[in-house]
Amino acid sequence: MRRSSGRTGICYDNAMAESFFGVLKNERVSRMSYTTREEARKDIARYIEFWYNLKRLHSAVGYR
């Protein structure tokens, strides 16, 4: 993992991360109500592993 090299206000190096977190918030987190952090952690991990990674393939990683 490499640290971001952009300056404040420059979004190009963070575009993929920003896109991911936007989708995560819109498709999962804002539609759920978590009672504990552990419940949220497990649900979000499950969403990423079984939905996001399998259904939302991205060109930047060769559609893997």
- The answer to whether residue 5 is domain-embedded is no
- The answer to whether residue 31 is domain-embedded is yes
Residue length of the chain: 64
Return the structure tokens found at 55: 């259904």
Q: What gap in Å lies between CA 18 and CA 28, rounded to an integer?
A: 15
- The answer to whether residue 8 is domain-embedded is no
Q: pTM above 0.85?
A: no
Instruction: Name the average pLDDT for the chain.
Output: 78
- The answer to whether residue 56 is domain-embedded is yes
Work out how many domains the chain is built from and give that number. 1
- The answer to whether residue 34 is domain-embedded is yes
| Res 60 pLDDT > 70 | no
- The answer to whether residue 33 is domain-embedded is yes
Q: What gap in Å lies between CA 18 and CA 42, rounded to an integer?
A: 21
Range of the domain at 48: 15-61
| Res 48 pLDDT > 80 | yes
